[in-house]
A and B are shown apart, each in its own frame.
Chain A
Amino acid sequence: MRATTTPSSLTRLLALPPPLRTRTFSVLSRPPPNYPGHIPLTILERLSLAAGSAIGSLAKPYRHDLIASLGETTAKPYFLSRLHRAMLNNPTGRRILRDRPRITSKSMKLEELRQMPENSVGRAYAAWLDREGVTPDTRDAVRYIDDPEEAYVMQRYRETHDFTHAITGLPVIIEGELAVKAFEFANTLLPMTALSLVAIVRLKKVERQRFLEVYMPWAIRNGLKAEEVINVYWEEELETDVEVLRARLGIEKPPDLRDIRKALREQKRRQKAEREGSGAGAG
């Protein structure tokens, strides 16, 4: 039995209690990392990083590292936990969390994917990569999420972003990216996806109109009614037929954006040629 020492009751009453979840530490005494690459941030650091990333990624959209840090600093306290819970509620999601598969250029060999059956997810993914001229680069590693499992959820979301592109067929130009981001917001609720939509201001008038009329409604409608895309075990679905997967998830394929743009370009060129031809003919 311990001796009953009574500290001054008044000081105990007035002592500020430590908050349950927010970690209060100083930059001079950062706690040890929870996983390799982890950087714990104070609240002020997190807020300023979020603000800076938001402004920076709007000004320079090719800065993928700013988009990554924006995503990580705005995902807590609620949204990433909600996504994590959505994975825990689903049997496939739980298997993903247990196995922790990573999508890298090494794990997804393009040569194998190109050999896959026609109209399979793997083939569509390879075809999309070839069409857009990108590779399955290793995405930025998650650094600012404290819980290791939630950090993996964020990493998984980042790595499967290209698959979402592949099965919807949306290209990597800004308009396509915005459409995918809108879909992801309706599906995963991560704030970074909603914040990226601010980039609508960077679209040309015609593009903006098209986006707001066609792609945004498509994205919201499908994102809400579809199953959680984070729960798809892509490594196992590579041989599944794309139509079958889309039907299972509840996603409709949007109008092909590259085709629309190409058709519009053709139309403009023809109109220009006609105008010049008639002008030349008249002149």
Chain B
Amino acid sequence: MASSPILMQSPKLIRRLLQLPPSLRRGFYSTASKPEIYDVVCVGGGPAGLSLLSALRSHPSTERLKVALIDSQDLTTSRAASDTRVYSNRCSSLTPASLKFLQNAGAWGKVEARRVQDYHGMQVWDGVSGSRISFDPLNGKNGAGLLDALAELVPGSRFRESRRQYETGNEGVVATMCENQNLTHALLQRLKEAGGVEVLDKTKVESIQLGPEPEDEKALDLSQWPIVTLPGERQLAARLLVGADGANSPVRNFANIPSHGWDYNQHGVVATLQLDHAFAELDRRTAYQRFLPTGPIALLPLPNNKASLVWSVTTPLAAKLKALSTPAFASMVNAAFRLQIADLTYFLEHMDTIDIADELSWRLPNTSPASTGLPQSLPTVKAVQEGSTASFPLRMRHADTYTGHRIALIGDAAHTIHPLAGQGLNLGLADAQSLASSIAYGVEHGMDIGSPWCLDEYVSDRWAKNNAVMGVCDKLQKLYSVQSGPVVWGRSLGLGLVDRLGPLKGMVMGAAGGVR
């Protein structure tokens, strides 16, 4: 790069330079650094972005693309914690489809297996009416039993083969709980092993702009390309800029893609809980969720005697819950699962003045389980892991579209969802899978991967599906926030019906599991 001081000191050099042809002369005169051209630049090192890059590196068509990853956090220090008695409070539930994707991307093998927990059943019940739905694939209680029974009648038929495609090999697993940092660490290990990805961590994106107008026809025209400027004057020109940078995505802002939605005025309180008894590795685990008028509370199993809590409450209640001492918080969680709503409302209102454990020990023997629909297998929470109580605001946002010219959005940058169905991360991973396959298709067919012909396939695959899932979760949240009246009766009836109609329940589970 030219620097004026050197030139000024050497007139001989200047004469030499003036004799050069114009195209080469220009290179010495321009002080602007030329942007480095990359095929894919991914802004954001979360699970969605990392899994996209892993998928690109794992596919033969795309493994030679020049890719870069930019993240403002330090990714090298990410490691899965070694103490199996302590678990992070940020855990995600991975559906079988997400697991399949991570296995194909080569990342699932690097996950710390001792810190991952499959669960084989789900119990979901309505706090107000006690009506419940249970998913129990191991006992064959759900799934399209009638269709499978018919298919078994004709061995060797194509119909029977088509029923087989729903077998994932991991029989009976509803989903898998995995800590976010465990997954991120595995993905980073995969990228390091595969190589070929320039990981720019601890790097904040200074700005994103379109490239400058070309000086003449023969010069490289980057005017339609997004140029990412990093600290130190380094510039990356992206053939495809992928925004995986979270809910307040700068890439989405650069692309002028509006995002619509609303806040729920709720916070999701998370914590790591210790249960009253330990489970062995091969034991059947169940996830529990109770719909309360203030928001659903979910207990998701972790290895041994641990569990992860996700409890959606109104914002002032979240603040009060976090301020409780850990024994009181544990008692509140038990109360939220076991007491009648009128009782629980009293507890929530007066939690800072009453002795929660004492009050609970009086109320529990006087609350009949039949009146609350309590599942018998629900474990009691004994303690809360110190320092694991936290909360995050809940909102729903959906970007109007996921792509622009040379822009693609995946993960939270594209959509934010209520955690009641555990779908947030799974939608992001499905986005990454779809985008990777669109890019692979584009490369195989000689397309410019940043052009709409390549990216439209991704949007048309994912936008409607994400919208449907978000819509359903939003309506469920609104449906279950009603406390009395005909809505409660109607939803209990509906839930009971879905519980009894095997094929319908199988469809619901299939949709939730994202089986492709």
B370 within 8 Å of A by Cβ? yes
Residue interface mask B120-136, A partner, CB < 8 A = 1: 00000000011100000
Residue interface mask A75-113, B partner, CB < 8 A = 1: 000000000110011010010011000000000000000
Complex interface: chain B residues within 8 A of A17 (CB): 496, 500
Stretch at the interface among B104-112, B265-273, B306-314, B341-349: B341-349
Distance of B121 from chain A, by nearest CB (Å)? 11
Question: Given that A17-B500, A89-B346 are contacting pairs, would A4 and B139 also be in contact in the complex, using a CB cutoff of 8 Å?
Answer: yes
Q: Which residues 128-178 of B sit at the A interface, judged by CB distance below 8 A?
A: 129-131, 138-140, 145-146, 148-149, 172
Residue interface mask A1-42, B partner, CB < 8 A = 1: 110111011101100010011000000000000000000000
Decide: A1 and B368 in contact? CB cutoff 8 A. no
Which of A4, A9, A84 has a CB less than 8 Å from the CB of B502?
A9
Complex interface: chain B residues within 8 A of A191 (CB): none
A132 within 8 Å of B by Cβ? no
CA distance A201 to B284 in the complex (A): 66
B78 within 8 Å of A by Cβ? no
Which of A2, A9, A89, A94 has a CB less than 8 Å from the CB of B145?
A9
Classify the secondary structure of B's interface with A.
helix
Residue interface mask B348-388, A partner, CB < 8 A = 1: 00100000000000100010101101000000000000000
CA distance A21 to B130 in the complex (A): 9
CA distance A85 to B399 in the complex (A): 44
A137 within 8 Å of B by Cβ? no
Question: Given that A1-B284, A10-B146, A13-B501 are contacting pairs, would A147 and B342 also be in contact in the complex, using a CB cutoff of 8 Å?
Answer: no
CA distance A109 to B356 in the complex (A): 36
Which of B140, B284, B502 has a CB less than 8 Å from the CB of A5?
B140
Classify the secondary structure of A's interface with B.
helix
Residue interface mask B68-79, A partner, CB < 8 A = 1: 000000000000
Distance of A146 from chain B, by nearest CB (Å)? 9
What total of chain B residues lie within 8 Å of the partner, measured CB to CB? Answer: 30
A149 within 8 Å of B by Cβ? yes
Q: Which residues 25-64 of B sit at the A interface, judged by CB distance below 8 A?
A: none
Decide: A89 and B368 in contact? CB cutoff 8 A. no
Which of A1, A2, A13 has a CB less than 8 Å from the CB of B146?
A13
Complex interface: chain B residues within 8 A of A5 (CB): 140
For the complex of A and B, the 9 pairs showing the least CB-CB separation, nearest first, are A9-B145, A85-B342, A9-B146, A4-B140, A88-B342, A149-B366, A9-B149, A6-B140, A88-B343
CA distance A20 to B370 in the complex (A): 8
Decide: B138 and A98 in contact? CB cutoff 8 A. no
Decide: A2 and B139 in contact? CB cutoff 8 A. yes
Residues of chain B at the chain A interface (Cβ within 8 Å):
129-131, 138-140, 145-146, 148-149, 172, 282, 284, 340, 342-343, 345-346, 350, 362, 366, 368, 370-371, 373, 492, 496, 500-502
Question: Given that A89-B342, A147-B371, A148-B366 are contacting pairs, would A12 and B140 also be in contact in the complex, using a CB cutoff of 8 Å?
Answer: no
CA distance A171 to B368 in the complex (A): 40
Complex interface: chain A residues within 8 A of B139 (CB): 2, 4
Complex interface: chain B residues within 8 A of A1 (CB): 138, 172, 282, 284
CA distance A1 to B171 in the complex (A): 10
CA distance A200 to B33 in the complex (A): 99
Decide: A12 and B370 in contact? CB cutoff 8 A. no
Decide: A2 and B138 in contact? CB cutoff 8 A. yes
CA distance A205 to B149 in the complex (A): 74
Complex interface: chain A residues within 8 A of B492 (CB): 20
Decide: A147 and B368 in contact? CB cutoff 8 A. yes
17 A-B residue pairings within 8 Å (CB atoms): A1-B138, A1-B172, A4-B140, A6-B140, A9-B146, A9-B149, A10-B146, A20-B373, A20-B496, A21-B130, A21-B371, A88-B343, A89-B342, A89-B346, A97-B366, A98-B362, A148-B366
CA distance A85 to B128 in the complex (A): 13
Distance of B201 from chain A, by nearest CB (Å)? 43
Decide: A6 and B342 in contact? CB cutoff 8 A. no
Distance of B387 from chain A, by nearest CB (Å)? 33
Complex interface: chain B residues within 8 A of A91 (CB): 350
CA distance A2 to B121 in the complex (A): 13
Complex interface: chain A residues within 8 A of B149 (CB): 6, 8-9
Question: Given that A88-B343, A89-B346 are contacting pairs, would A6 and B370 also be in contact in the complex, using a CB cutoff of 8 Å?
Answer: no
